Amino acid sequence: MKNNVTYSVNPSGEKFALPKKDEYEQEFIRLEKLADNARKEGKEIVVVMGIGFVGAVMAAIVADTTDENGRNSKFVIGCQRPSIRSYWKIPMLNKGVSPVKAEDPEVDEMIHRTVVEKQTLVATYNSDCLKLADCVVVDVQCDYSKQDLGNMRTGEADMAALEATMKTIGDKISPHCLVLIETTVAPGTTEFVAWPIMKKAFTKRGIDSTPLLAHSFERVMPGREYVSSIRDFWRVCSGCDNEARKRVEKFLHEVLNTKDFPLTVMDRPIESETTKIVENSYRATILAYLNEWSLFAERNGVDLIKVINAIKMRPTHDNMIFPGPGIGGYCLPKDGGLGYWAYRHILGFEDGDEIFKITPTAIDINDTRALHVAQLVRDALRNMSRYIAGSDVLLCGASYRQDVGDTRYSGSELVMRRLAEMGAEMYVHDPYVEHWYELENQDVYPAPGHSWSRFFRNQENLQEIKVQKDLPAALKGVEAMILAVPHEQYLQLNPDDIVKWAGQPIAVIDCFGILTDDAIRRYFELGCEVKALGRGHIQRIKKEVKNQSS
Protein backbone atom coordinates (compact mmCIF):
# COMPACT_ATOMS: atom_id res chain seq x y z
CA MET A 1 0.00 0.00 0.00
CA LYS A 2 1.26 3.48 -0.82
CA ASN A 3 2.41 5.34 2.28
CA ASN A 4 1.41 8.99 1.89
CA VAL A 5 2.31 10.21 5.39
CA THR A 6 4.42 13.38 5.34
CA TYR A 7 7.13 13.86 7.93
CA SER A 8 8.88 16.76 9.53
CA VAL A 9 12.42 15.97 10.67
CA ASN A 10 14.04 17.67 13.66
CA PRO A 11 17.72 18.72 13.69
CA SER A 12 18.81 15.44 15.27
CA GLY A 13 17.07 13.41 12.56
CA GLU A 14 13.94 12.34 14.48
CA LYS A 15 10.85 12.04 12.23
CA PHE A 16 7.39 13.32 13.16
CA ALA A 17 4.32 12.56 11.02
CA LEU A 18 2.39 15.69 10.09
CA PRO A 19 -1.17 15.77 11.50
CA LYS A 20 -3.98 14.57 9.23
CA LYS A 21 -7.16 16.55 8.59
CA ASP A 22 -9.27 14.34 10.88
CA GLU A 23 -6.97 14.94 13.86
CA TYR A 24 -7.67 18.68 14.04
CA GLU A 25 -11.02 18.34 15.78
CA GLN A 26 -9.69 16.10 18.56
CA GLU A 27 -6.76 18.46 19.02
CA PHE A 28 -9.11 21.40 19.51
CA ILE A 29 -11.17 19.47 22.07
CA ARG A 30 -7.93 18.76 23.98
CA LEU A 31 -6.97 22.45 23.96
CA GLU A 32 -10.46 23.57 24.94
CA LYS A 33 -10.42 21.34 28.01
CA LEU A 34 -6.98 22.57 29.05
CA ALA A 35 -8.03 26.20 28.56
CA ASP A 36 -11.29 25.68 30.50
CA ASN A 37 -9.42 24.23 33.45
CA ALA A 38 -6.85 27.01 33.35
CA ARG A 39 -9.53 29.66 33.27
CA LYS A 40 -11.26 28.06 36.26
CA GLU A 41 -7.96 28.46 38.10
CA GLY A 42 -8.05 32.18 37.25
CA LYS A 43 -5.40 32.04 34.54
CA GLU A 44 -5.41 34.19 31.44
CA ILE A 45 -5.09 32.29 28.14
CA VAL A 46 -2.25 33.52 25.93
CA VAL A 47 -1.58 32.18 22.42
CA VAL A 48 1.91 32.70 21.00
CA MET A 49 1.92 32.47 17.19
CA GLY A 50 5.21 31.05 15.88
CA ILE A 51 7.44 29.01 18.19
CA GLY A 52 10.78 29.82 16.57
CA PHE A 53 13.86 31.40 18.12
CA VAL A 54 11.87 34.16 19.81
CA GLY A 55 8.37 32.69 20.19
CA ALA A 56 9.41 29.48 21.97
CA VAL A 57 11.27 31.39 24.68
CA MET A 58 8.69 34.19 24.95
CA ALA A 59 5.98 31.51 25.35
CA ALA A 60 7.91 29.93 28.23
CA ILE A 61 8.50 33.31 29.91
CA VAL A 62 4.77 34.10 29.79
CA ALA A 63 3.93 30.57 31.03
CA ASP A 64 6.33 31.07 33.95
CA THR A 65 4.53 34.26 35.10
CA THR A 66 3.18 34.36 38.63
CA ASP A 67 0.90 36.90 40.32
CA GLU A 68 1.62 38.83 43.51
CA ASN A 69 0.67 35.72 45.54
CA GLY A 70 3.11 33.53 43.64
CA ARG A 71 0.36 31.68 41.72
CA ASN A 72 0.79 30.88 38.03
CA SER A 73 -1.32 33.44 36.23
CA LYS A 74 -1.04 32.53 32.52
CA PHE A 75 -1.77 29.44 30.47
CA VAL A 76 0.09 29.55 27.16
CA ILE A 77 -0.63 27.78 23.89
CA GLY A 78 2.26 27.98 21.43
CA CYS A 79 0.81 27.76 17.95
CA GLN A 80 3.06 26.72 15.10
CA ARG A 81 2.00 26.01 11.53
CA PRO A 82 2.47 22.31 10.67
CA SER A 83 4.97 22.86 7.82
CA ILE A 84 7.47 20.14 6.89
CA ARG A 85 10.23 22.48 8.00
CA SER A 86 8.83 23.42 11.39
CA TYR A 87 6.15 20.95 12.58
CA TRP A 88 8.69 18.99 14.68
CA LYS A 89 8.88 21.95 17.08
CA ILE A 90 5.38 21.08 18.38
CA PRO A 91 5.92 17.48 19.59
CA MET A 92 9.33 18.49 20.97
CA LEU A 93 7.92 21.38 22.98
CA ASN A 94 5.06 19.19 24.23
CA LYS A 95 7.67 16.80 25.65
CA GLY A 96 9.22 19.72 27.53
CA VAL A 97 12.23 19.90 25.21
CA SER A 98 13.24 23.26 23.76
CA PRO A 99 12.90 23.42 19.97
CA VAL A 100 15.67 26.03 19.88
CA LYS A 101 19.23 25.24 20.81
CA ALA A 102 20.64 27.90 23.10
CA GLU A 103 23.85 28.39 25.04
CA ASP A 104 21.72 29.69 27.93
CA PRO A 105 20.82 26.77 30.26
CA GLU A 106 17.76 28.70 31.46
CA VAL A 107 16.02 28.04 28.10
CA ASP A 108 15.87 24.26 28.63
CA GLU A 109 15.11 24.59 32.35
CA MET A 110 12.27 27.04 31.82
CA ILE A 111 10.66 25.07 29.00
CA HIS A 112 10.83 21.88 31.04
CA ARG A 113 9.46 23.64 34.13
CA THR A 114 6.49 25.24 32.35
CA VAL A 115 5.54 22.25 30.18
CA VAL A 116 6.15 19.34 32.57
CA GLU A 117 6.02 20.73 36.13
CA LYS A 118 3.72 23.76 36.05
CA GLN A 119 1.80 22.48 33.00
CA THR A 120 1.21 26.06 31.90
CA LEU A 121 2.58 25.63 28.37
CA VAL A 122 1.43 23.44 25.47
CA ALA A 123 2.06 23.59 21.75
CA THR A 124 -0.34 22.96 18.89
CA TYR A 125 -0.72 23.08 15.12
CA ASN A 126 -4.41 23.95 15.30
CA SER A 127 -4.89 27.70 14.93
CA ASP A 128 -8.45 27.33 16.23
CA CYS A 129 -6.75 27.77 19.61
CA LEU A 130 -7.02 31.49 18.82
CA LYS A 131 -10.71 31.23 19.71
CA LEU A 132 -9.66 30.51 23.30
CA ALA A 133 -7.25 33.44 23.69
CA ASP A 134 -7.42 36.51 25.93
CA CYS A 135 -4.17 37.69 24.41
CA VAL A 136 -2.23 36.71 21.27
CA VAL A 137 1.49 37.35 20.84
CA VAL A 138 2.73 37.26 17.24
CA ASP A 139 6.29 35.98 16.83
CA VAL A 140 6.30 34.85 13.20
CA GLN A 141 9.11 35.92 10.87
CA CYS A 142 9.09 38.87 8.48
CA ASP A 143 12.19 38.51 6.32
CA TYR A 144 13.78 40.95 3.92
CA SER A 145 14.82 38.99 0.87
CA LYS A 146 17.64 40.39 -1.18
CA GLN A 147 17.85 39.74 -4.90
CA ASP A 148 21.51 40.68 -5.32
CA LEU A 149 24.64 40.32 -3.25
CA GLY A 150 25.72 43.77 -2.11
CA ASN A 151 22.65 45.66 -3.30
CA MET A 152 19.89 45.70 -0.73
CA ARG A 153 17.83 48.24 -2.72
CA THR A 154 16.54 45.48 -5.01
CA GLY A 155 15.25 43.43 -2.07
CA GLU A 156 11.75 43.23 -0.69
CA ALA A 157 9.99 42.57 2.60
CA ASP A 158 8.46 39.12 2.72
CA MET A 159 5.13 39.94 4.33
CA ALA A 160 3.33 36.67 3.46
CA ALA A 161 3.69 34.81 6.79
CA LEU A 162 2.74 37.87 8.81
CA GLU A 163 -0.23 38.82 6.63
CA ALA A 164 -1.55 35.24 6.66
CA THR A 165 -1.16 35.13 10.44
CA MET A 166 -3.03 38.43 10.92
CA LYS A 167 -5.87 37.20 8.72
CA THR A 168 -6.16 33.95 10.69
CA ILE A 169 -6.13 35.91 13.95
CA GLY A 170 -8.84 38.30 12.70
CA ASP A 171 -10.96 35.34 11.62
CA LYS A 172 -10.78 33.56 14.95
CA ILE A 173 -10.18 35.69 18.04
CA SER A 174 -12.85 36.99 20.35
CA PRO A 175 -13.52 40.76 19.99
CA HIS A 176 -11.86 41.64 23.32
CA CYS A 177 -8.66 39.72 22.75
CA LEU A 178 -5.47 41.80 22.74
CA VAL A 179 -3.13 41.09 19.81
CA LEU A 180 0.52 42.02 20.29
CA ILE A 181 2.87 41.99 17.29
CA GLU A 182 6.44 41.31 18.44
CA THR A 183 7.79 40.57 14.99
CA THR A 184 10.24 43.16 13.65
CA VAL A 185 8.17 44.75 10.92
CA ALA A 186 8.47 47.41 8.25
CA PRO A 187 7.36 50.71 9.87
CA GLY A 188 3.66 51.21 9.26
CA THR A 189 2.85 47.47 9.17
CA THR A 190 0.89 47.35 12.42
CA GLU A 191 -1.46 50.24 11.64
CA PHE A 192 -1.58 50.19 7.85
CA VAL A 193 -1.29 46.48 6.99
CA ALA A 194 -2.18 44.31 10.00
CA TRP A 195 -4.96 46.46 11.49
CA PRO A 196 -6.92 46.75 8.21
CA ILE A 197 -6.64 42.97 7.67
CA MET A 198 -8.07 42.38 11.14
CA LYS A 199 -10.77 45.06 10.78
CA LYS A 200 -11.92 43.51 7.51
CA ALA A 201 -12.11 40.09 9.15
CA PHE A 202 -14.10 41.54 12.08
CA THR A 203 -16.56 43.28 9.71
CA LYS A 204 -17.05 40.01 7.81
CA ARG A 205 -17.87 38.29 11.09
CA GLY A 206 -20.34 41.06 12.00
CA ILE A 207 -18.22 42.29 14.93
CA ASP A 208 -18.74 46.04 15.57
CA SER A 209 -15.78 46.71 17.83
CA THR A 210 -12.27 47.63 16.67
CA PRO A 211 -9.56 44.98 17.01
CA LEU A 212 -7.20 45.63 19.93
CA LEU A 213 -3.80 45.68 18.26
CA ALA A 214 -0.42 46.63 19.75
CA HIS A 215 3.27 46.46 18.87
CA SER A 216 6.32 45.76 21.01
CA PHE A 217 9.49 44.49 19.36
CA GLU A 218 11.97 41.94 20.67
CA ARG A 219 15.58 42.69 21.55
CA VAL A 220 16.53 39.06 22.12
CA MET A 221 20.23 38.29 21.98
CA PRO A 222 21.32 34.72 21.17
CA GLY A 223 23.91 33.45 23.65
CA ARG A 224 24.25 32.81 27.36
CA GLU A 225 21.75 35.51 28.38
CA TYR A 226 18.97 34.41 26.00
CA VAL A 227 16.12 34.38 28.53
CA SER A 228 17.28 37.53 30.29
CA SER A 229 17.54 39.37 26.98
CA ILE A 230 13.76 38.92 26.63
CA ARG A 231 12.52 39.05 30.23
CA ASP A 232 15.01 41.32 31.99
CA PHE A 233 15.48 43.95 29.36
CA TRP A 234 14.03 47.33 28.40
CA ARG A 235 10.95 47.14 26.19
CA VAL A 236 9.22 49.65 23.95
CA CYS A 237 5.51 49.35 23.16
CA SER A 238 2.53 51.14 21.67
CA GLY A 239 -1.07 50.45 20.71
CA CYS A 240 -3.26 51.34 17.73
CA ASP A 241 -5.65 53.11 20.14
CA ASN A 242 -5.81 54.04 23.82
CA GLU A 243 -7.39 50.79 24.94
CA ALA A 244 -4.84 48.64 23.09
CA ARG A 245 -2.05 50.78 24.56
CA LYS A 246 -3.36 50.33 28.10
CA ARG A 247 -3.81 46.57 27.60
CA VAL A 248 -0.32 46.03 26.20
CA GLU A 249 1.25 48.03 29.04
CA LYS A 250 -0.61 45.89 31.59
CA PHE A 251 0.36 42.64 29.86
CA LEU A 252 4.07 43.53 29.60
CA HIS A 253 4.18 44.71 33.24
CA GLU A 254 2.78 41.29 34.21
CA VAL A 255 5.11 39.07 32.17
CA LEU A 256 8.40 41.01 32.03
CA ASN A 257 10.69 42.46 34.68
CA THR A 258 9.60 46.07 34.04
CA LYS A 259 10.43 47.03 37.62
CA ASP A 260 14.15 46.85 36.94
CA PHE A 261 13.89 47.50 33.20
CA PRO A 262 11.28 50.20 32.69
CA LEU A 263 8.90 50.11 29.75
CA THR A 264 8.90 52.94 27.19
CA VAL A 265 5.41 53.63 25.85
CA MET A 266 5.18 55.35 22.47
CA ASP A 267 2.15 57.18 21.05
CA ARG A 268 1.77 55.13 17.88
CA PRO A 269 2.95 51.74 16.58
CA ILE A 270 4.91 53.35 13.72
CA GLU A 271 7.07 54.96 16.40
CA SER A 272 7.85 51.72 18.19
CA GLU A 273 8.38 49.96 14.82
CA THR A 274 10.76 52.73 13.76
CA THR A 275 12.62 52.50 17.07
CA LYS A 276 13.61 48.92 16.31
CA ILE A 277 14.64 49.69 12.73
CA VAL A 278 16.67 52.78 13.67
CA GLU A 279 18.30 50.98 16.59
CA ASN A 280 19.54 48.17 14.35
CA SER A 281 20.42 50.45 11.43
CA TYR A 282 22.53 52.52 13.82
CA ARG A 283 24.42 49.42 14.89
CA ALA A 284 24.83 48.21 11.30
CA THR A 285 26.08 51.67 10.29
CA ILE A 286 28.77 52.06 12.95
CA LEU A 287 30.03 48.58 12.07
CA ALA A 288 30.04 49.30 8.32
CA TYR A 289 31.78 52.62 8.87
CA LEU A 290 34.85 50.85 10.22
CA ASN A 291 35.24 48.83 7.00
CA GLU A 292 36.95 51.71 5.17
CA TRP A 293 39.28 52.34 8.10
CA SER A 294 40.00 48.63 8.25
CA LEU A 295 41.23 48.74 4.63
CA PHE A 296 43.11 51.97 5.32
CA ALA A 297 44.82 50.29 8.29
CA GLU A 298 45.78 47.18 6.32
CA ARG A 299 47.48 49.28 3.63
CA ASN A 300 49.27 51.75 5.88
CA GLY A 301 50.89 49.77 8.65
CA VAL A 302 48.18 50.52 11.22
CA ASP A 303 46.62 48.03 13.64
CA LEU A 304 42.95 49.05 13.77
CA ILE A 305 42.42 46.91 16.86
CA LYS A 306 44.86 49.12 18.80
CA VAL A 307 43.27 52.25 17.31
CA ILE A 308 39.81 51.15 18.49
CA ASN A 309 41.09 50.25 21.94
CA ALA A 310 42.74 53.66 22.22
CA ILE A 311 39.51 55.43 21.21
CA LYS A 312 37.42 53.32 23.59
CA MET A 313 39.36 54.75 26.56
CA ARG A 314 37.19 57.80 25.98
CA PRO A 315 33.85 57.02 27.66
CA THR A 316 31.81 58.82 24.97
CA HIS A 317 33.15 56.39 22.31
CA ASP A 318 33.29 53.13 24.22
CA ASN A 319 30.75 51.22 22.12
CA MET A 320 32.93 50.90 19.02
CA ILE A 321 33.18 47.33 17.73
CA PHE A 322 35.57 45.82 15.21
CA PRO A 323 33.39 44.45 12.40
CA GLY A 324 35.04 41.05 11.83
CA PRO A 325 34.26 39.25 8.55
CA GLY A 326 30.85 40.88 8.07
CA ILE A 327 28.06 41.30 10.56
CA GLY A 328 25.52 38.51 10.32
CA GLY A 329 22.84 37.46 12.73
CA TYR A 330 19.18 37.50 11.81
CA CYS A 331 18.46 41.16 12.46
CA LEU A 332 21.23 43.60 11.47
CA PRO A 333 21.44 42.51 7.80
CA LYS A 334 17.71 42.91 7.23
CA ASP A 335 16.12 45.48 9.52
CA GLY A 336 17.29 48.63 7.69
CA GLY A 337 15.92 47.04 4.52
CA LEU A 338 12.47 46.82 6.09
CA GLY A 339 12.56 50.59 6.72
CA TYR A 340 13.79 51.44 3.21
CA TRP A 341 11.10 49.16 1.68
CA ALA A 342 8.30 50.51 3.88
CA TYR A 343 9.00 54.13 2.90
CA ARG A 344 7.86 53.34 -0.64
CA HIS A 345 5.62 50.30 -0.41
CA ILE A 346 3.64 51.04 2.74
CA LEU A 347 4.00 54.79 3.19
CA GLY A 348 3.88 55.69 -0.53
CA PHE A 349 6.97 57.89 -1.07
CA GLU A 350 8.95 57.80 -4.31
CA ASP A 351 12.19 59.48 -3.19
CA GLY A 352 13.59 56.65 -1.07
CA ASP A 353 16.86 56.56 -2.97
CA GLU A 354 17.41 60.25 -2.37
CA ILE A 355 16.82 60.23 1.34
CA PHE A 356 18.19 56.79 2.23
CA LYS A 357 21.95 56.96 1.60
CA ILE A 358 23.64 55.64 4.71
CA THR A 359 21.45 52.72 5.79
CA PRO A 360 21.53 50.91 2.40
CA THR A 361 25.26 51.54 1.99
CA ALA A 362 25.95 50.19 5.47
CA ILE A 363 24.01 46.99 4.77
CA ASP A 364 25.73 46.53 1.40
CA ILE A 365 29.18 46.99 2.96
CA ASN A 366 28.42 44.57 5.77
CA ASP A 367 26.97 42.01 3.34
CA THR A 368 30.16 41.89 1.27
CA ARG A 369 32.97 42.57 3.74
CA ALA A 370 33.62 38.81 4.06
CA LEU A 371 34.70 38.60 0.41
CA HIS A 372 37.88 40.47 1.31
CA VAL A 373 38.83 37.61 3.64
CA ALA A 374 39.05 35.31 0.61
CA GLN A 375 41.49 37.77 -0.97
CA LEU A 376 43.67 37.71 2.15
CA VAL A 377 43.72 33.89 2.09
CA ARG A 378 44.68 33.97 -1.59
CA ASP A 379 47.46 36.50 -0.96
CA ALA A 380 48.84 34.70 2.09
CA LEU A 381 49.04 31.42 0.19
CA ARG A 382 50.65 33.14 -2.78
CA ASN A 383 53.34 34.55 -0.47
CA MET A 384 54.07 30.92 0.45
CA SER A 385 54.23 29.97 -3.25
CA ARG A 386 50.92 28.11 -3.05
CA TYR A 387 47.68 28.56 -4.97
CA ILE A 388 44.23 28.83 -3.52
CA ALA A 389 42.87 26.34 -6.06
CA GLY A 390 43.32 22.89 -4.58
CA SER A 391 44.57 24.13 -1.19
CA ASP A 392 43.09 22.66 1.99
CA VAL A 393 41.66 25.52 4.04
CA LEU A 394 40.20 25.26 7.55
CA LEU A 395 37.68 27.88 8.62
CA CYS A 396 37.54 28.22 12.42
CA GLY A 397 34.12 29.57 13.41
CA ALA A 398 30.88 29.25 11.43
CA SER A 399 28.59 31.32 13.65
CA TYR A 400 28.05 35.04 13.36
CA ARG A 401 29.38 35.96 16.78
CA GLN A 402 31.58 34.59 19.51
CA ASP A 403 30.53 31.74 21.75
CA VAL A 404 27.13 31.09 20.12
CA GLY A 405 26.03 28.43 17.64
CA ASP A 406 23.84 30.76 15.55
CA THR A 407 24.98 30.68 11.90
CA ARG A 408 22.31 32.88 10.36
CA TYR A 409 23.80 35.19 7.70
CA SER A 410 27.28 34.77 9.19
CA GLY A 411 30.22 36.33 7.35
CA SER A 412 31.85 32.89 7.56
CA GLU A 413 29.30 31.54 5.08
CA LEU A 414 30.44 34.02 2.42
CA VAL A 415 34.09 33.22 3.12
CA MET A 416 33.35 29.52 2.57
CA ARG A 417 31.40 30.19 -0.60
CA ARG A 418 33.93 32.51 -2.23
CA LEU A 419 36.87 30.21 -1.42
CA ALA A 420 34.96 27.15 -2.68
CA GLU A 421 34.30 29.11 -5.86
CA MET A 422 38.04 29.79 -6.17
CA GLY A 423 38.70 26.06 -5.96
CA ALA A 424 39.85 25.63 -2.34
CA GLU A 425 39.04 22.43 -0.44
CA MET A 426 37.08 23.82 2.49
CA TYR A 427 36.83 22.40 6.02
CA VAL A 428 35.16 23.90 9.07
CA HIS A 429 35.58 23.72 12.82
CA ASP A 430 33.22 25.25 15.38
CA PRO A 431 32.80 24.23 19.03
CA TYR A 432 29.21 25.51 19.15
CA VAL A 433 27.70 24.50 15.79
CA GLU A 434 26.46 20.94 15.18
CA HIS A 435 25.08 21.38 11.67
CA TRP A 436 25.70 24.22 9.28
CA TYR A 437 22.24 24.23 7.72
CA GLU A 438 22.97 27.13 5.36
CA LEU A 439 25.44 24.81 3.60
CA GLU A 440 24.09 21.33 4.31
CA ASN A 441 20.56 22.25 3.20
CA GLN A 442 21.42 24.98 0.74
CA ASP A 443 18.68 23.88 -1.69
CA VAL A 444 15.94 24.74 0.77
CA TYR A 445 17.50 26.88 3.50
CA PRO A 446 16.75 29.64 4.47
CA ALA A 447 14.04 29.04 1.81
CA PRO A 448 14.06 27.47 -1.67
CA GLY A 449 15.86 29.87 -4.04
CA HIS A 450 17.14 32.07 -1.19
CA SER A 451 20.49 30.49 -0.38
CA TRP A 452 23.61 32.62 -0.83
CA SER A 453 24.87 29.69 -2.93
CA ARG A 454 23.08 31.28 -5.88
CA PHE A 455 25.62 34.09 -6.00
CA PHE A 456 28.60 31.75 -6.49
CA ARG A 457 29.69 28.88 -8.73
CA ASN A 458 31.15 25.57 -7.63
CA GLN A 459 29.01 25.24 -4.49
CA GLU A 460 27.75 21.65 -4.78
CA ASN A 461 30.37 20.05 -2.49
CA LEU A 462 29.53 22.38 0.38
CA GLN A 463 26.42 20.30 1.01
CA GLU A 464 28.69 17.51 2.26
CA ILE A 465 30.39 19.75 4.84
CA LYS A 466 30.68 18.36 8.37
CA VAL A 467 31.38 20.72 11.24
CA GLN A 468 34.43 19.34 13.06
CA LYS A 469 34.92 19.48 16.82
CA ASP A 470 38.48 18.24 17.27
CA LEU A 471 40.77 21.14 16.35
CA PRO A 472 44.11 19.22 16.20
CA ALA A 473 42.49 16.61 13.93
CA ALA A 474 40.80 19.26 11.80
CA LEU A 475 44.14 21.04 11.26
CA LYS A 476 46.01 17.96 10.05
CA GLY A 477 47.47 18.66 6.61
CA VAL A 478 45.77 22.05 6.05
CA GLU A 479 47.59 24.83 4.24
CA ALA A 480 45.58 27.75 5.61
CA MET A 481 43.62 28.45 8.79
CA ILE A 482 41.08 31.27 9.00
CA LEU A 483 40.23 32.50 12.50
CA ALA A 484 36.80 33.86 11.63
CA VAL A 485 35.08 34.19 15.02
CA PRO A 486 36.62 35.00 18.42
CA HIS A 487 35.25 31.89 20.16
CA GLU A 488 36.92 31.40 23.52
CA GLN A 489 38.74 28.29 22.27
CA TYR A 490 40.52 30.32 19.58
CA LEU A 491 41.80 33.13 21.80
CA GLN A 492 44.77 31.37 23.38
CA LEU A 493 45.97 29.07 20.61
CA ASN A 494 49.72 28.46 20.67
CA PRO A 495 51.42 28.91 17.26
CA ASP A 496 53.81 26.01 17.95
CA ASP A 497 50.83 23.69 18.53
CA ILE A 498 49.09 24.89 15.38
CA VAL A 499 52.10 24.21 13.18
CA LYS A 500 52.63 20.84 14.89
CA TRP A 501 48.98 19.84 14.34
CA ALA A 502 49.01 21.03 10.72
CA GLY A 503 52.31 19.21 10.15
CA GLN A 504 53.78 22.19 8.25
CA PRO A 505 53.97 26.01 8.26
CA ILE A 506 50.60 27.41 7.17
CA ALA A 507 48.88 30.64 6.22
CA VAL A 508 47.00 32.12 9.19
CA ILE A 509 44.22 34.65 8.55
CA ASP A 510 42.89 36.58 11.53
CA CYS A 511 39.46 38.16 10.93
CA PHE A 512 38.73 39.48 14.42
CA GLY A 513 41.88 40.83 16.06
CA ILE A 514 42.38 37.47 17.75
CA LEU A 515 46.16 37.17 17.44
CA THR A 516 48.49 38.99 19.83
CA ASP A 517 51.61 40.59 18.38
CA ASP A 518 53.69 37.88 20.07
CA ALA A 519 51.64 35.16 18.39
CA ILE A 520 51.97 36.88 14.99
CA ARG A 521 55.76 37.11 15.49
CA ARG A 522 55.97 33.45 16.47
CA TYR A 523 53.98 32.35 13.41
CA PHE A 524 56.48 34.18 11.19
CA GLU A 525 59.41 32.62 13.07
CA LEU A 526 57.86 29.21 12.37
CA GLY A 527 57.76 29.94 8.64
CA CYS A 528 54.04 30.74 8.48
CA GLU A 529 52.42 33.65 6.66
CA VAL A 530 49.97 35.87 8.56
CA LYS A 531 47.31 38.24 7.24
CA ALA A 532 44.49 39.93 9.07
CA LEU A 533 41.51 42.20 8.54
CA GLY A 534 42.44 45.74 9.57
CA ARG A 535 45.93 44.92 10.87
CA GLY A 536 48.56 46.55 8.67
CA HIS A 537 51.25 46.39 11.36
CA ILE A 538 51.71 42.71 10.54
CA GLN A 539 54.05 43.69 7.69
CA ARG A 540 56.29 45.45 10.22
CA ILE A 541 56.45 42.36 12.43
CA LYS A 542 57.22 40.23 9.37
CA LYS A 543 60.13 42.52 8.42
CA GLU A 544 61.49 42.47 11.98
CA VAL A 545 61.49 38.66 12.03
CA LYS A 546 63.14 38.55 8.60
CA ASN A 547 65.86 41.01 9.67
CA GLN A 548 66.55 39.05 12.85
CA SER A 549 67.00 35.78 11.00
CA SER A 550 69.21 37.20 8.23
Ligand X SMILES: NC(=O)c1ccc[n+]([C@@H]2O[C@H](COP(=O)([O-])OP(=O)(O)OC[C@H]3O[C@@H](n4cnc5c(N)ncnc54)[C@H](O)[C@@H]3O)[C@@H](O)[C@H]2O)c1
**Strands, sheet with 44-49, edge to edge from the N-terminal-most edge strand:** 121-124, 74-79, 44-49, 135-138, 178-181, 212-215, 236-239, 264-265
In the complex, minimum distance from the CB of residue 250 to ligand X, in angstroms, rounded to a whole number: 22
Chosen residue from 50, 337, 339, 405 binding ligand X by CB under 6 A:
50
Q: Terminal CA-to-CA distance of the chain, rounded, Å?
A: 79
- Sheet with 392-396, side-by-side order of all strands: 467-468, 425-429, 392-396, 480-483, 507-510, 529-532
Amino acid at 521: R
Q: Which of 72, 141, 281, 459 binds ligand X (CB under 6 A)?
A: 141
446 or 534: CB nearest ligand X = 446
User: DSSP states of 22-63 as a string?
Assistant: GGHHHHHHHHHHHHHHHHHTTPEEEEEE--STTHHHHHHHHH
Quick note: the x/- pattern for ligand X over 214-253, rule CB under 6 A, is: ----xxx-x-------------------------------
In the complex with ligand X, which residue's Cβ is closer, 136 or 482?
136
Choices 133-141, 480-488, 523-531, 535-543; region in contact with ligand X by CB under 6 A: 133-141
Nearer to ligand X, 80 or 114 (CB): 80
Q: Is 140 in the site for ligand X (CB under 6 A)?
A: yes
- DSSP assignment of 410-428 equals -HHHHHHHHHHHTT-EEEE
C-alpha distances in angstroms, 68 versus 71, 135, 254, 255, 327? 7, 20, 10, 12, 42
DSSP three-state, residue 534: coil
Size of the site for ligand X (CB under 6 A): 27
Query: Which of residues 88 and 456 has its CB atom nearest to ligand X in the complex?
Result: 88
Tell me which residues in 176-215 interact with ligand X (CB under 6 A). 183-184
String of b and e for 121-136 (b: at least 16 CB within 10 Å)? bbbbbbbbbbbbbbbb
Distance CA 452, CA 325 (A): 16
Stretch that binds ligand X, among 47-55, 129-137, 347-355, 366-374 (CB under 6 A): 47-55
The piece of 106-114, 138-146, 308-316, 509-517 that touches ligand X (CB under 6 A) is 138-146
Q: Is the four-CA dihedral 312, 511, 465, 444 of positive or negative sign? A: positive
User: In whole angstroms, how close is the CB of 19 to ligand X at the nearest point?
Assistant: 14
Of 133 and 471, the one with the shorter C-beta distance to ligand X is 133
Distance of CA 167 to the CA centre of its chain: 26
Return the residues of window 71-110 that contact ligand X according to CB under 6 A. Answer: 79-81, 83, 86
Residue with Cβ nearer ligand X (401 or 429): 401
44, 55, 290, 532: which one binds ligand X (CB under 6 A): 55
**Smallest distance, ligand X to C-beta of residue 161, A:** 4
Output the residue with the shortest Cβ distance to ligand X: 52
What b/e string do you get for 201-220 counting C-beta neighbours within 10 Å, with b at 16 or more?
Answer: bbeeeebeeebbbbbbbbeb
Shorter beta-carbon distance to ligand X: residue 199 or 219: 219
CB-nearer residue toward ligand X: 79 or 506: 79
> Hey, which residues between 494 and 533 contact ligand X (CB under 6 A)?
none
| Shortest distance, position 218 Cβ to ligand X, whole Å | 4
Cβ proximity of 121 and 94 under 8 Å: no
Nearer to ligand X by Cβ, of 139 and 430: the residue is 139
Looking at the Cβ atoms of 52 and 352, the one nearer to ligand X is: 52
Q: How many residues does the chain have?
A: 550
Nearer to ligand X, 229 or 458 (CB): 229
Q: Closest separation between CB of residue 445 and ligand X, Å?
A: 11
| CA gap 158, 141 in Å, rounded | 9
What number of CA atoms fall less than 13 Å from residue 93's CA on the CB side?
32
DSSP 98-154: -SS--S-HHHHHHHHIIIIIS--EEEES-GGGGGG-SEEEE----EEE-SBTTBGGG
Site for ligand X in 152-181 (CB under 6 A): 161, 164-165
User: By rule CB under 6 A, what string of x and - marks binding of each residue 334-373 to ligand X?
Assistant: ----------------------------------------
Question: Interface with ligand X by CB under 6 A: which residues?
Answer: 49-55, 79-81, 83, 86, 139-142, 161, 164-165, 183-184, 218-220, 222, 330-331
